[in-house]
Amino acid sequence: MTFEVVSALAGERTGIALIELQTADPLPVITDMADRADVVDFDLLWKGESSALLHVETASPSILQPVLQSGIPIEMPFTVRNGEATWTVTAASSRFSEFGQLLDELGIEYTLEYVHEIGHTRADDILTDRQREVLLAALERGYYATPREATLTDVASDLDISKATCSEILHRAEGSVIRWFADEHTGDARAQLAADTDTR
């Protein structure tokens, strides 16, 4: 079951949201939400076989309180799946710290997935943190030197991971770098590379 919050407005006492519900059978969920004591106003705007669009006003918008108090806008839409919301926010570091403190005070558990500085380029997005870590370790160890100064086993040993895991991470990282290079510097080759990687 997934809720996509299309838009939301947080007030001091209530929160209003336009929500798209996606589930195998929306009716029981809709009935449950409409009957909740903390729901002040509820409108079913549209319903399909496995989705529905809802307008909800709640008297306990705890998930939106940190947003209101810290003054940090959340990018819309955001997804709530199995009780876990995924947010993307842009803010000064001081406000971002305050945001984290408010989440802690309200007892809202959270995981910080990544932080990017404003102005980062697309090149900053092509690798996961783990891929970047392993790729840089391999580079520093001399795995990409000519002649090669370290084997895959050496790199894996330095990182305390298996050779197979190291190989898989490096392979994915190398593929991402190559695809990025093709996107940036070629035209016809870009389309060909995308087709090749999709059919592997």
Task: Using the 3D structure, point to which of 59, 80, 105 is the last residue of a domain.
Answer: 105
Same domain, 48 and 12: yes
Whether residue 113 lies inside any domain: the answer is: no
pLDDT higher than threshold 60 for residue 9: yes
Confidence at residue 100, expressed as pLDDT on a 0 to 100 scale: 81
Confidence at residue 62, expressed as pLDDT on a 0 to 100 scale: 65
Range of weakest confidence among 27-36, 123-132, 139-148? 123-132
Q: Considering the entire predicted model, what is its pTM? A: 0.52
> When comparing pLDDT for 114 and 105, which is higher?
105
Same domain, 13 and 98: yes
**Strand partners of residue 55:** 18, 43
Task: Using the 3D structure, point to which of 105, 132, 154 is the last residue of a domain.
Answer: 105
pLDDT higher than threshold 70 for residue 73: yes
Same domain, 14 and 73: yes
User: In whole numbers, what is the pLDDT of the chain averaged over residues?
Assistant: 81
Q: Which residues contact 143 (CB under 8 A, 6 or more apart)?
A: 149, 150, 151, 152, 154, 155
CB 174 within 8 A of CB 184: no
Whether residue 111 lies inside any domain: the answer is: no
> When comparing pLDDT for 200 and 184, which is higher?
184
Of 90, 171, 173, the C-alpha closest to 128 is 173
pLDDT higher than threshold 90 for residue 29: yes
Same domain, 79 and 54: yes
Same domain, 76 and 169: no
Q: What is the pLDDT of residues 156-187, one digit of tens each?
A: 999 999 999 999 999 988 988 888 777 766 54
> When comparing pLDDT for 101 and 200, which is higher?
101
Number of folded domains that form the chain: 2
Whether residue 115 lies inside any domain: the answer is: no
Q: What is the pLDDT of residues 108-129, one digit of tens each?
A: 787 777 666 655 555 566 888 8
Which three-class secondary structure state does DSSP give residue 130?
helix
Same domain, 87 and 182: no
Same domain, 9 and 97: yes
C-alpha 106/C-alpha 63 separation (Å) is 9
Instruction: Extract the runs of DSSP E, i.e. beta strands, from 98-151.
Output: none
DSSP H/E element including 168? helix 163-185
Whether residue 172 lies inside any domain: the answer is: yes
**Residue type at position 190:** R
C-alpha 49/C-alpha 177 separation (Å) is 41
pLDDT confidence band for 191 (50 / 70 / 90): very low
Between 129-141 and 152-159, two packed helices, what is the crossing angle to 10 degrees?
Answer: 120
Confidence at residue 103, expressed as pLDDT on a 0 to 100 scale: 81
Domain range enclosing 175: 122-198
Same domain, 134 and 177: yes
- Cα distances from 31 to residues 26, 27, 28, 42, 44, in angstroms, run 9, 6, 5, 10, 10
C-alpha 198/C-alpha 200 separation (Å) is 6
C-alpha 150/C-alpha 188 separation (Å) is 35
CB 5 within 8 A of CB 47: no
Same domain, 36 and 92: yes
Q: What is the pLDDT of residues 35-60, one digit of tens each?
A: 998 899 999 999 999 999 999 998 87
User: CATH code at 193?
Assistant: 1.10.10
